[in-house]
Chains A and B, each alone.
Chain A
Amino acid sequence: MTEREYNECVTTYADNVYRFILKNLRNEEDARDVVQTSFEKMWVHRDEVDATKSKSYLFTVAYRQMIDHIRKVKRVQLKEEFNEGIKIQNKPANNLKKILDEALARLSETQRTLVLLKDYEGYSYEEIGRITSLSESQVKVYLHRARVQLKEYLVKVENVI
């Protein structure tokens, strides 16, 4: 991967990675750190990175960085989720996107990651498996379970309305 390819990768994928991480971590500063570190790693290892696979390399590195980060601040995460649960109960759901975001927040980290990789980036089960070090069938099962959970949350909220 050349310098130009690296910079193109920044232009093309920085926002995507950032969205992916931000949606998972729900903290802009942390997300920024993770993205920066990921790009640094890619720069350092640019000689080993195939330019055609730069995106999945980037997402793989970012995902690992994110997992490391989550492990570091696990307690904070749990607290945030708890608050979110209270909010959901009190708040009338006004639009689908908001409800979906809430539903997404209630998924496990792995499920959330899989859903985001699938919906945001359109990765196949196989590619997601490579990024997250899961088998294709695991990805499929987790992702389907997550999707059903999302659906049930939507149904529940709609019924409440």
Chain B
Amino acid sequence: MMRIDRHNYEECFILYWDNELTASQKQAIENFVKENPDLQEEFTVLGEARFTPDSKIQFEEKNFLLNSSTINITNYEERLLSYIDDELNPEERKEIERSAEKNPLVQKELSLLQKTKLQPEAELVFPGKSDLYRTEEKISVIRMTWFRVAVAAAIILITGFTVLQLVNGNKDGNDPTVAKINESKTEAAKSNNSSTTPGGQKSPDQTPVDERTTKVNTGDNKKETGTNKKNDIKPVIENKDQQSSVVAYQPENKNNLPKENKRPDESETTNVGDTEVAILDKKDIDGATAAINTVLTDFDVTPKDNISLYIPEPEKERGGLKGFLRKTTRVFERRTKIQTTTEDNKLLVGAFALSLK
């Protein structure tokens, strides 16, 4: 070290207070100050111009830096995210809150993350909510199915019974049918004549073309619906027994049946006549209309519309006649079908159901 004198003492004093001198050098400085009392003040002032650490100042977030603590510099973000996602238990939540109070860094981060939390917008409302409401159809569906099952069962029973009865009737009259048809064919001309000759109510009834029979049918049918259905049906069956042929090939047997009850022979002839001769005889037709009127009055048949409706059917029956000759069962089926289809289905079904029961 250089020699201390009055020119360089300041630098030496600073070095002294900065503790950059050896003990001997320090001693030399102290001796110099004693020798020069006028420099004593400057020496002490430089010494006081030093800073000492403020022990009161402490790093509050010291724990935040420790990995051992529950929330620290390495995990605070994850913890805060879990906090705002509400995935922490109450104790952990409190800890976060305490930490946020103490640590501005945590506080700032937390408030920022809380801002990212979305709020549902109440003004957003689903517009078609009324379309989403539903009502159970299950119960009604069940009812329908039961109803349908009941109807189906009833229909099956009805057809089954009728077929059985018809089959029984056929057993009695199958052979006769062929014979009678032949007879009826041979007697067709006779029937025409006879129908015209007898006069009275029966002759027009028998002679009339298909129209009559049809109308008679309508009359009978309406009777069925209106008055006694059983009675109407029973005669049919009896007639079948007597004249299975007629019953078979003519779907509208009922008409003939009552007539047949009155005069079975004539009815046979009329049936054949209906199919084959009906259109040929205009006189018969005229007589038929008259007879129809009478029949209508007798059976309370009202609308003439029925007549027009039923006229085509007998034409079909002609084809049915051939079909009958081939297979009687098929004809029975047709017969049953006609019963269900030609007129209002429901009424016929109901009528049969009642008769069977």
Contact = CB atoms under 8 A, between A and B. Distances in A.
A103 interface: yes
Nearest to B131: A36
Interface stretch (B57-65, B113-121, B303-311): B113-121
B153 to A, nearest CB: 29
Interface in B49-90: 77-78, 81-82, 84-87
A59 interface: no
A66 interface: no
Interface string A135-160: 00000100110011011001100000
Interface of B is mostly: loop
A148 B115 contact: no
A35 B115 contact: no
Q: Which of A116, A148, A155 has the most CB of B within 10 A?
A: A148
A48 interface: no
A122 interface: yes
Contact of B134 (A6, A103, A118): A6
Nearest to B121: A19
B135 interface: yes
B132 A36 contact: yes
Interface string B305-322: 000000000000000000
Given A10-B132, A19-B120, A19-B124, A118 B115 contact: no
A69 B295 CA distance: 73
In which size bucket is the chain A interface? 35 or more
Contact of A32 (B113, B128, B135): B128
Contacts, number: 82
Contacts of A116: 118
B126 A18 contact: yes
A151 B113 contact: yes
Nearest to A22: B124
Contact of A96 (B87, B115, B136): B115
Contacts of A124: 86-87
B327 interface: no
Nearest to B122: A15
Contacts of A144: 77-78, 81-82
A140 B77 CA distance: 13
A148 B77 contact: yes
A129 B129 CA distance: 28
A25 interface: no
Given A15-B124, A15-B126, A125 B85 contact: yes
A147 B113 contact: yes
B23 interface: no
B231 to A, nearest CB: 50
Interface in A105-142: 115-116, 118-120, 122, 124-125, 140
A22 B124 CA distance: 9
A119 B134 contact: no
B112 A154 contact: yes
Q: Which of A19, A28, A154 has the most CB of B within 10 A?
A: A19
Contacts of B120: 16, 19, 119-120
B126 A17 contact: yes
Nearest to B136: A3
A86 B136 CA distance: 50
B116 A103 contact: yes
13 contacts: A3-B136, A15-B126, A22-B124, A32-B126, A32-B127, A35-B132, A43-B134, A119-B120, A144-B82, A147-B85, A151-B115, A154-B112, A154-B116
Interface of B: 77-78, 81-82, 84-87, 112-113, 115-121, 124-129, 131-136
List of 5 A-B pairs having minimum Cβ-Cβ separation, nearest first: A18-B126, A150-B116, A119-B118, A3-B136, A14-B126
Interface of A: 3, 6-7, 10-11, 14-19, 22, 28, 32, 35-36, 39, 43, 96-97, 100, 103-104, 115-116, 118-120, 122, 124-125, 140, 143-144, 147-148, 150-151, 154-155
